[in-house]
Structure formats: C-alpha cells, structure tokens
A and B are shown apart, each in its own frame.
Chain A
Amino acid sequence: DIQLTQSPSFLSTSVGDRVTITCRASQGISSYLAWYQQNPGKAPKLLIFAASTLQSGVPSRFSGSGSGTEFTLTISSLRPEDFATYYCQQFNSYPQTFGQGTRLEIK
C-alpha cells in the first residue's frame, strides 16, 4: 500500500499568513493526488485534484503543486474560515489512501 505522510501534523498560525503543507508518498504516484479540507463534524470538501487543479468554487488562495512523491498545498493568505484539518489522498492505485491530516489552529 502507498503511505502518505503529511507535515506538519499541526500548525499554529495567524490570519493573513501564508501556509504550506507537504504530502510525501512512499512511492511515485504521478499527479494522482487530491487535497481536502474538513471542519469538525462535517464531511470533507474537495479543494484540489490531479495535484494542482482547483475544484470549482474553491477560492484561488488555495493552490497545489508537485508530482511523483512530493506534493504541497499552499494557502496564500489565511482567512478565519480556513482554520480546519487538511488531508491529502492518493488515487494512483488501490487501496486508495489518505495522509494523517494537518490541523491548522489560530495562534
């Protein structure tokens, strides 16, 4: 199975900050990676797929990059509604797997 490791697991940050979250795959997955945002008690929300394609309706302050084994999710300027948990997911092969999550907290 392909393991996805996110870093950091937790980040204390402020409104207006630029944030970068990394997702590393245990083997190459081309660009078969997605990013989700999840708020407590809610279903995940798709932000980015195919590593860098922004899902319809997602603000442009979110961006994704990478291929192979290293990927990043960047939020250019944090807004209050962005404080949530973020997950990466690979769909290169089965079983599909998720990273362990990165929780953003307001400093």
Chain B
Amino acid sequence: EVQLVESGGGLIQPGGSLRLSCAVSGFTVSSTSMSWVRQAPGKGLDWVSVIYSGGSTYYADSVKGRFTISRDSSKNTLYLQMNNLRAEDTAVYYCARVLTFLGGTAGPSDYWGQGTLVTVSS
C-alpha cells in the first residue's frame, strides 16, 4: 500500500528555518519524481517544487533560493528545507508522488500525504 506521511511543520518566526519530511512506503522515493504543493489557509493549491528521479529540481519563483527539495534513498524519505521563512509561506504543505510520462515529463500527482501545517508568525 502506498503511503506518504509528512512531518516537521509547526510555528516558526519570520526569517527562521524548518525542514519538512515525507516518509514514503509502498514505492521507492528515488525511482520516481516527487513534489511539494502547499495550500494557504482558505486558499487554493500552490505548486512549490519537484525533484526528478534523476535528481533535477525545479522551484516556484516565490521559493527559489530559499527552499531546497531533496531525498534520502536509505530512509525512503523526501525533504523540503525551508529557509528565510516569510508570513506568506504559511500553509499546509503536501508531498506527492508525480506521474512521469513518456519523454520524462513530470505530470500531475497521483498519491498525496495528509499535509503538515507550517505557520510563520512572530
């Protein structure tokens, strides 16, 4: 059974750092593309980042240079390192498995975690 379980969220002051984890079971995290998507309270979905099986990464402009996506194959876990956090980063953060199409295009996500809430506030 495929499961994704996020952890690491919490209350953090502006300018602070936080690392989110996404523990995966049912497939190998390094064998497929994985992404992070966030959702501010009462708002819509906001794509954050993707890591391909080959290691290439892409980021939303709003987080580029502040967030880093990575994975640990030995722990079968996906990470999101978030630095210099801002109030507008407050959201539920979801990790998700990405469908990969012919040619290697990373597509939509078919499995999602339950999300972890990050609140950036003084």
Residues of chain A having any CB pair with chain B under 8 Å: 1, 32, 34, 36, 38, 43-46, 49-50, 55, 87, 89, 91, 94-101
> Interface on chain A toward B: helix, strand, loop, or mixed SS?
loop
Q: What residue in chain B is nearest A95 (Cβ atoms)?
A: B60
* B27: interface (CB < 8 Å): no
Q: Is the CB of B59 within 8 A of A91?
A: no
> Interface on chain B toward A: helix, strand, loop, or mixed SS?
strand
How far is B46's CA from A87's CA once the two chains are assembled, in angstroms? 11
How far is B49's CA from A15's CA once the two chains are assembled, in angstroms? 37
Interface positions, chain B 70-109, Cβ under 8 Å from A, are 94, 96, 99, 101, 105-109
| Chain A to chain B contacts (Cβ below 8 Å), 15 pairs | A1-B61, A32-B105, A43-B114, A43-B115, A44-B37, A44-B109, A46-B109, A46-B110, A49-B107, A55-B110, A91-B106, A91-B108, A95-B60, A96-B47, A98-B45
* Residue of B50, B94, B107 with most chain A CB atoms under a 10 A cut-off: B107
Q: How far is the CB of B2 from chain A (nearest CB, A)?
A: 12
Q: What residue in chain B is nearest A42 (Cβ atoms)?
A: B114
How far is B110's CA from A81's CA once the two chains are assembled, in angstroms? 19
How far is B109's CA from A34's CA once the two chains are assembled, in angstroms? 9
* Residue of B60, B94, B109 with most chain A CB atoms under a 10 A cut-off: B109
Beyond A43-B115, A95-B58, A95-B61, whether A32 also contacts B107 by CB under 8 A is yes
Q: Report which of A46, A89, A95 forms a contact with B45, defined as CB distance below 8 A.
A: A89
How far is B76's CA from A14's CA once the two chains are assembled, in angstroms? 44
When distances are taken between beta carbons in the complex, the residues of chain A under 8 Å from B107 are: 32, 34, 49-50, 91
Q: Report which of A38, A89, A94 forms a contact with B108, defined as CB distance below 8 A.
A: A89
Q: How far is the CB of A83 from chain B (nearest CB, A)?
A: 17
Q: How far is the CB of B12 from chain A (nearest CB, A)?
A: 22
